[in-house]
Amino acid sequence: MVKICCIGAGYVGGPTMAVIALKCPDVEVVVVDISEARIAGWNSDRLPIYEPGLDDVVKRCRGRNLFFSTDVERYVGEADVVFVSVNTPTKTRGLGAGKAADLTYWESAARMIADVSRSDKIVVEKSTVPVKTAEAIEKILAHNGRGVRYQILSNPKFLAEGTAVRDLFAPDRVLIGGRETPEGQAAVKVLKGVYARWVPEDRIITTNLWSAELSKLAANAFLAQRISSVNAISALCEATGADVAEVACSIGKDSRIGPRFLSASVGFGGSCFQKDILNLVYICECYGLPEVAEYWRQVIGINDYQKSRFVNRVVSSMFNTVAGKKVAVLGFAFKKDTGDTRETPAIDVCRGLLGDKAVVSIYDPQVTEEQVRRDLAMRKVAVTTDAYEAARDAHAVCILTEWEDFRSLDYRRMYDVMQKPAFVFDGRNIVDPEKLRDIGFIVYAIGKPL
């Protein structure tokens, strides 16, 4: 029986530990965080993150074998396995600013582990980190360790927000990287034993440390690259009269390509794709591989292009100016089924519209007004609690998140309360352009014939 402690009660640490606690009722799992507000949230009826199915999992094991605490040092000291799931944002200043991962939180967690540990520990990298981070962490732990022995494992998380619980229950794979020494392999076996309680053995892959660290960055880069590829094709579709949905469906039928993750959009968002690709770019540059760095940088280049292309389309369609015109923005989260707005394309689109002096009114079913204001740095926008209110007197509606509810809105009702001509710019291809055109809207949808 092992005692687990996870440092970082965020989008990854919270749900991952809740599922481990659920599936391993005899294992004590404590999630610790320096943020009192976050921990208070996890201990309340209103969890600090919105994730379908999570409430139920937490309710079933909180207080039984799942605990949330700010007493970081105590629980780290008592644990056999310490997961580190702290944030690893992009550095904003100094060497590598704008690209490299900022490992400040990781390093301070490692120093704290070294300070409080009195017994041997397995330290698990759960955060996404640059390849070779484990080597640096080993140095920090060994130098302060007072004879305590540590084994570092890399166990990156592949869950996506909005489907985190489902992804944790039935992962495509669990990846565990460790040192190729007997001690390293023994640590791998302990962690494998935890996951094997509910994940089929053939889905638990073990590799060396560097392969595991790099696989995480490579997986996100490949996923983002697919979106940039289909988005690049969407621009060509608009220029030629092809339909990006038809093209994506046709190419996705090739089993070597596959149908998933080929939805053209206003651009990808989320806390990780851009950050992890920038991190990869920086690592390539550091290893003297500028051509490889440039290749991956273009994935972000196309994403930026797609967002600005969308704004330009809105402005140019509306007679080259949106100054003083109300524009309703439906959806602010970076994807459906989450309240997360980190790197959401909606921020760039709203900034672009506000830059052209539009009057912006935003509705999102999960994002709070406070969050929108923080993200837009208090720029003047209205935030409504209803899509129809956002659309009242608007000249245009921009759909920026693919919330299911937006598919079934009463667009005729919306049309009736809007200024004419009324425009719809569908950045997620969730409405039927022909049906909307029948109502009277002028419709633009990504990669679709105009």
Which residues have a catalytic role annotated? 272
Residue 341 sits in the site that holds ligand NAD (CB under 6 A): no
d(CA 70, CA 8): 10
Residue 335 sits in the site that holds ligand UGA (CB under 6 A): yes
Answer with the entry of ligand UGA, ligand NAD, none that 334 interacts with (C-beta below 5 to 8 A by kind): ligand UGA
Residue (38 or 179) nearer to ligand NAD, CB: 38
Residue (238 or 340) nearer to ligand NAD, CB: 340
Residue 11 sits in the site that holds ligand NAD (CB under 6 A): yes
Q: Which of 23, 78, 90, 105 binds ligand NAD (CB under 6 A)?
A: 105
61 annotated ligand binder: no
Question: Of 161-180, which residues contact ligand NAD (CB under 6 A)?
Answer: 161
Question: Of 250-269, which residues contact ligand UGA (CB under 6 A)?
Answer: 261-263, 265, 268-269
Using the contact rule CB under 6 A, the part of the chain among 38-46, 139-147, 270-278, 370-378 near ligand UGA is 270-278
Residue (223 or 398) nearer to ligand UGA, CB: 223
Task: Report strand pairing: 326-330 vs 382-383.
Answer: unpaired
Task: Report strand pairing: 121-125 vs 81-84.
Answer: parallel
Distance of CA 193 to the CA centre of its chain: 28
Residue 140 sits in the site that holds ligand NAD (CB under 6 A): no
Q: What are phi and psi of 191, to 5 degrees?
A: -70, -40
Cis geometry, peptide bond prior to residue 449 (ω within 30 degrees of 0):
no
Nearest Cα to Cα of residue 154 among 216, 111, 220, 212: 212
d(CA 214, CA 117): 28
CB atoms within 10 A of CB 401: 30
Nearest Cα to Cα of residue 341 among 98, 49, 126: 49
Minimum distance from residue 20 beta carbon to ligand NAD (Å): 15
Query: How distant, in Å, are the alpha carbons of 74, 101, 292 from that of 217?
Result: 32, 12, 14
CB atoms within 10 A of CB 179: 18
Answer with the entry of ligand NAD, ligand UGA, none that 384 interacts with (C-beta below 5 to 8 A by kind): none
Residue 86 sits in the site that holds ligand NAD (CB under 6 A): yes
CB atoms within 10 A of CB 317: 17
Residue 85 sits in the site that holds ligand NAD (CB under 6 A): yes
d(CA 50, CA 14): 11
- Residue 322 exposed, middle or buried by CB count within 10 Å (0-12, 13-18, 19+): buried
197 annotated ligand binder: no
Question: Of 174-233, which residues contact ligand UGA (CB under 6 A)?
Answer: 220, 223, 227
Q: Which of 117, 128, 154, 384 binds ligand NAD (CB under 6 A)?
A: 128
Bridge partners of residue 29, in order along the sequence = 4, 66
Task: Please say whether the dihedral angle defined by the alpha carbons of residues 432, 435, 439 and 440, taken in this order, is positive or negative.
Answer: positive
Kind and range of the H or E run holding 442 = strand 442-445
Q: Which of 6, 272, 302, 311 binds ligand NAD (CB under 6 A)?
A: 272
Contact string (CB under 6 A) for ligand UGA, positions 286-305, x = contact: --------------------
Residue 384 sits in the site that holds ligand NAD (CB under 6 A): no
Which residues contribute to the site for ligand UGA (CB under 6 A)?
128, 157-161, 220, 223, 227, 261-263, 265, 268-270, 272-273, 334-335
**Interface residue list for ligand NAD (CB under 6 A):** 7-13, 32-35, 38, 72, 85-88, 105, 108-109, 127-128, 157, 159, 161, 271-272
In the annotated binding site, the residues are 8-13, 33, 38, 86-90, 127-128, 161, 272-275, 342
